[in-house]
Amino acid sequence: MGQDASPVPGAKLPVTDSKSLLAHEDRGMRVRTSKNPAPPKAVSSDWHRIEARQIWLSSTGIAVSLLLTAGIVSFVLPAFIPGLNGYYSIDTSLAVHGLVGLVLLFDLYVVFQQLQLYRVRKGIAEREELFRLISENAADLIAVVDVDGRRLYNSPSYQKLLGYSVEDLKGTSGFEQVHPDDREKLLEAAAEAKRSGEGRRVEYRIQHKDGHWLTLESTASVVRNRAGNVEKLVIVNRDITERKQVEAQVLLSQKLEAIGRLSGGVAHDFNNLLGVIIGYSEELQKRIGPEDPYREAVDEIRDAGKRAASLTQHLLAFSKKQVLEPCLLNLSTVVGDVGKMLQRVIGEDIALEIIAPPSIGVIKADRTQIERVILNLAVNARDAMPSGGKLTIELSDIELDEESSRSFPAPITAGSYVLLRATDTGCGMDANIREHIFEPFFTTKDKGTGLGLATVYGVIKQSSGYITVESEPGQGATFKIYLPHAAEAQTSAAERKPSTGYPQESRIILLVEDEPALLKLTRTALKNLGHTVLEAKDAFQALEISKLREGPINLLLTDVIMPGMSGPTLADNLLPLRPEMKVLYMTGYSDGAIAKQGILEDGISLIRKPFTKEELAQRVEEVLFGVLR
């Protein structure tokens, strides 16, 4: 904790004086913390017993020595003072026996004292060894400072963690390695511990010898003297750098998930409105000639609707609520095809290098969305290199075992992946930008929607992949995308046969849509195509219409998300009664009803909202006339 916490190794507590070490240990055991103010009495009483034993041995030794000295003096006193013979007589034989007895008693005491001293020394040595084992092997960093902040002791863990030797730190302040933004709160915590006698936890950043920053969690406890005054501070620091990184990842994931749910819901409702806007603008275009002064306004309305539709697709991609139509892909082929247009996108002042081995593993993903991911990464790199630079897109196979997956910056499942690495030589990003880079509408550009990388994040997550970013200011950026190898080969639902033209005969279509304006517009479009339309505002009305109709129904065209009963549930109720009926779903939103984790199930046909009249006509034709069910 700053200078008081002594967060780096400095002066060491002498361990050669066993008694002073034990005294220090004893005082260290009398630490008071805010959570456990009671001292550890067992350890303290052990030391007091040792002290009492030493005092008793010393007192006994003095008494025996005085008794022996008195005996010797009484024996030899007449020999030195002849005049005492008349007054002082002694039985020489008795005196000799007494003196010998005293000598023997003294010898016995010396033996006993040595045995007792051996026991004391052994206890001290054991405690010293225990302290050494704790201090040298503790993962936490232990420091002792006095009330003035002078460093008394730092455990060897400091040097192991921070890389500084004792010589490196001689004459340095305890604050030199602490991040400037964290120094004030360390001073406040130390002052509070001195004032109240209770420590509190503090998190702060400290610089390693190689320059990178670590995050420590510091807990200060006080050591009181016999008068009850604060004498020392014992600081325990724990390296929580990895924990903070994991917490940041979890927090970011939760935040992105919450934003995604909101974005997905808004985009779903917005798609219905855009369908009406685009549809009626197309109807107006049919009735207003090119020379009409209002034709330009109608064209602008339709174009704005399409741009808004594209925006909602970005939101759905970020929220992982778009419906993907995956197929088996060789990512080298996809990157090679997209690479033909990337140079035009990024400009001639940026060199493009693509490293895509043809033998790369096969993945299962939506080709259109993967192409969008690559394009968005290229655009992001271009914007980071306004004065030119180099963009490298590299593919490789990678195997992540359990150990490597645990050390991954974000939670990832062990297995085989195709790694797409996009590296630029641009301006790079600091930690604050990296923290928010995948959030929708977050941008550092003067112009931009802030949805490019949010879309990338959503598509990769929905494709069961992972994405990370490595960047520092002035050092460019590297985006790493991990896409799992495909487990089995399946026929792509997206590989459709080309349309052969509009139908030559009328069909009966049961149209189910809960949005009145969109229901009316779609009904008109289908009638203009020559079909007979049976319309229902919800699934229950559709069931009633089917029950009353004796003739065939060729196609069920239904919205997926409706109040009361969903489109798939409606189809499940009607298909057993009308097995010849085809089904086409209208949606741009995945709620799990027709797509698991946003992946379209086999044998299901859909048209994404909002759609144009031409897109509706083509999709209805494909389903009705056997191109797809």
| pLDDT attached to residue 345 | 83
- Do the domain assignments include residue 249? no
Mean pLDDT of the chain: 77
Residue 36 has pLDDT above 50, yes or no: no
Q: Which candidate, 326, 629, 605, 619, places its Cα nearest to that of 499?
A: 619
This prediction's pTM: 0.45
d(C-alpha 307, C-alpha 301), whole Å? 10
Residue 560 sits in a domain whose CATH number is 3.40.50.2300
d(C-alpha 241, C-alpha 157), whole Å? 15
Q: Are the C-beta atoms of residues 153 and 144 closer than 8 Å to each other?
A: yes
Instruction: Clarify whether residues 474 and 542 are in a common domain.
Output: no
Instruction: Clarify whether residues 170 and 224 are in a common domain.
Output: yes
Instruction: Clarify whether residues 476 and 521 are in a common domain.
Output: no
pLDDT digits (tens, 9 = 90+) for 322-331: 566 678 889 9
Instruction: Clarify whether residues 62 and 203 are in a common domain.
Output: yes
| pLDDT attached to residue 486 | 87
Instruction: Clarify whether residues 233 and 268 are in a common domain.
Output: no
For the chain, the farthest-separated pair of C-alpha atoms sits apart, in whole angstroms, at 159
Determine the structural domain holding residue 542 and report its residue range: 508-624
d(C-alpha 330, C-alpha 359), whole Å? 9
Of the three residues 206, 239, 272, the one that is the final residue of a domain is: 239
Q: What is the DSSP letter of 233?
A: E
pLDDT digits (tens, 9 = 90+) for 247-305: 877 777 777 677 666 766 677 677 788 888 988 898 888 888 888 888 899 989 988 88
- Do the domain assignments include residue 530? yes
- Do the domain assignments include residue 495? no
d(C-alpha 541, C-alpha 562), whole Å? 12
Lowest mean pLDDT among 14-28, 69-83, 500-514, 522-536: 14-28
Instruction: Clarify whether residues 348 and 222 are in a common domain.
Output: no
For 470-533, the DSSP string reads EE-TTS-EEEEEEEEBPSS----TT-PPPP--S-SS--EEEEE-SSHHHHHHHHHHHHHTT-EE
d(C-alpha 373, C-alpha 479), whole Å? 11
- Do the domain assignments include residue 607? yes
- Do the domain assignments include residue 499? no
Per-residue pLDDT band at 555 (split at 50, 70, 90): very high
Residue 272 sits in a domain whose CATH number is 1.10.287.130
Q: Containing H/E element for 423?
A: strand 415-424
Per-residue pLDDT band at 34 (split at 50, 70, 90): very low
Residue 22 sits in a domain whose CATH number is 3.30.450.20
Strand partners, 3: none
Instruction: Clarify whether residues 228 and 349 are in a common domain.
Output: no
Lowest mean pLDDT among 162-166, 548-552, 605-609: 162-166
Of the three residues 178, 205, 239, the one that is the final residue of a domain is: 239
| pLDDT attached to residue 50 | 66
Instruction: Clarify whether residues 117 and 191 are in a common domain.
Output: yes
pLDDT digits (tens, 9 = 90+) for 325-357: 678 889 999 998 888 788 888 888 899 999 999
* Average pLDDT for 106-127: 81
Instruction: Clarify whether residues 420 and 385 are in a common domain.
Output: yes
Per-residue pLDDT band at 590 (split at 50, 70, 90): low
Instruction: Clarify whether residues 554 and 524 are in a common domain.
Output: yes
- Do the domain assignments include residue 129? yes
Query: How many domains are contained in the chain?
Result: 4
pLDDT digits (tens, 9 = 90+) for 361-405: 899 888 888 988 998 899 889 989 989 999 999 999 999 887 777
For 281-331, the DSSP string reads HHHHHHHS-TTSTTHHHHHHHHHHHHHHHHHHHHHHHHHT-SPB--EEEEH
Q: Which two tokens stand for residue 268?
A: 């779903």
Of the three residues 484, 517, 536, the one that is the final residue of a domain is: 484
Instruction: Clarify whether residues 408 and 455 are in a common domain.
Output: yes
Crossing angle of helices 92-137 and 41-80, rounded to 10°: 150
Instruction: Clarify whether residues 585 and 470 are in a common domain.
Output: no
| pLDDT attached to residue 506 | 74
Number of other residues whose CB lies within 10 A of the CB of residue 329: 19
- Do the domain assignments include residue 253? no
Residue 423 has pLDDT above 90, yes or no: yes
- Do the domain assignments include residue 248? no
